[in-house]
Amino acid sequence: MHTLPSHTIHAVVATALAEDIGTGDLSTLGVIPASAQAQAQFVFREAGVVCGLPLVQAVFAAVDGALVVQPLVAEGTPAAAGQAVATVAGPAQGLLMGERVALNLFQRLSGIATLAAQYVAAVADTGVHILDTRKTTPGLRALEKYAVRVGGASNHRFGLYDGVMLKDNHLAILAAQGIGLSNAIQRARAAVGPMVRIEVEVENVAAAAEAAAAGADVILLDNMHPDQLRAAVAAIAGRARSEASGGITLATIRAVAASGVDYISVGALTHSARALDIGLDTE
């Protein structure tokens, strides 16, 4: 079961509502009677994976505690075009004031979950794990990585604090100081100890072999075509996990998976996912 911490939900919702409502909804408060009641359905305009129902519930609860959101399907369920997935009922003013924030979050997270599910399906039966990256919307990383999990993919590190990754710029700066790849890995291991995973980005087969020999836990094979990936996996020879990354699309991912890598990381899961078309239809 994929979950989001309640404090994360409330913090994002509070910020989003303050941004949208500000000092008050001029349109709604000016014309909608305070006594008016309304009911509406969230309807998928296109097929996709339902993701973000806890956010929808939190938005309307924050606007008006009398509003009731009733999910019609479970989080993570595939929904068809035209399918109603939740209802909201209660004071019409609150429903209208929460509508856009609820839809923005619901559409964004469902879009990410849907794209993640497509990538996972593309490598079905290969044993490869699809990972996200840190290419997320500032302030929404926890939500977007949650949506990746709901879509069936896995999370890479959450931030700079929970894993070592020596990328090209780290290695370039170290090289300018006379510190090579093997020494960089040894320095990282000495700094973080044995319990923290060390990943290293490489761009050729020789560097992959060197990183494996130096004790890297994961070797990121950056922007390599499938033949290079196969050679790099052979050079690593089981001494480390391998991860392919860089410009991988739904059209190319199956060939990448066939190279024998353990992981494929796809920044597009979060930085390029299209918001799913979801409507809120008042009954």
State the pLDDT at residue 257: 98
Residues 159 and 255 in one domain: yes
Q: How many domains does the chain have?
A: 2
Instruction: For residues 102 and 164, state if they share a domain.
Output: no
Residues 93 and 26 in one domain: yes
Distance of CA 58 to the CA centre of its chain: 20
Kind of pairing, strands 198-202 and 78-79? unpaired
Residue 110 marked as a ligand binder: no
| Residue 145 assigned ligand-binding role | no
pLDDT band at 1 (very low <50, low <70, confident <90, very high): low
Give residue-wise pLDDT tens across range 17-38: 999 999 999 999 999 999 999 9
Share of the chain above pLDDT 70, in %: 100
**CATH code where residue 15 lies:** 3.90.1170.20
User: Exposure string (b/e) for 152-178, b if CB count within 10 Å is 16 or more?
Assistant: bbeebbeeeeebbbbeeeebeebeeee
What pLDDT sits at residue 14?
A: 98
62 & 92 share domain: yes
Co-location of 278 and 249 in the same domain: no
Q: What is the arithmetic mean of pLDDT over 138-155?
A: 98
Looking at the structure, do residues 164 and 260 belong to the same domain, yes or no? yes
| pLDDT for position 171 | 97
Look up tokens 């309304």; give the residue: 38
Q: Domain containing 210 — which CATH number?
A: 3.20.20.70
- pLDDT tens by residue, 147-193: 999 999 999 999 999 999 999 999 999 999 999 999 999 999 999 99
Catalytic residues: 100, 135, 167, 201, 222
Q: Which tens digits make up the pLDDT trace of 70-95?
A: 999 999 999 999 999 999 999 999 99
Instruction: Please indicate if the annotation marks 151 as binding a ligand.
Output: no
Structural domain range at position 187 = 154-265
User: Is residue 283 very low, low, confident or very high in pLDDT (cuts 50, 70, 90)?
Assistant: confident
> Are 32 and 115 contained in the same domain?
yes
- Residues 237-257 pLDDT 10s: 999 999 999 999 999 999 999
- What CA–CA distance (Å, rounded) separates 64 from 50? 24
- For the segment 189-240, what is each residue's pLDDT rounded down to a tens digit? 999 999 999 999 999 999 999 999 999 999 999 999 999 999 999 999 999 9
- Of 68, 18, 70, 76, the C-alpha closest to 52 is 76
Determine, yes or no, domain membership for 147: no
To the question of whether residue 266 is assigned a binding role by annotation, the answer is yes
Q: Is 212 annotated as a binding residue?
A: no
Residues 6+ apart with CB under 8 A from 224: 203, 204, 232, 244, 246
Q: Does residue 168 share a domain with residue 92?
A: no
* 129 assigned to some structural domain: no
pLDDT band at 2 (very low <50, low <70, confident <90, very high): confident
217 domain residue, yes or no = yes
Q: Is residue 143 part of a domain?
A: no
The answer to whether 215 is annotated as binding is: no
Residue at 135 is within a domain:
no
Of 51, 15, 266, 252, the C-alpha closest to 147 is 51
Give 127's DSSP letter: -
Task: Please indicate, yes or no, if residue 140 is contained in any of the structural domains.
Answer: no
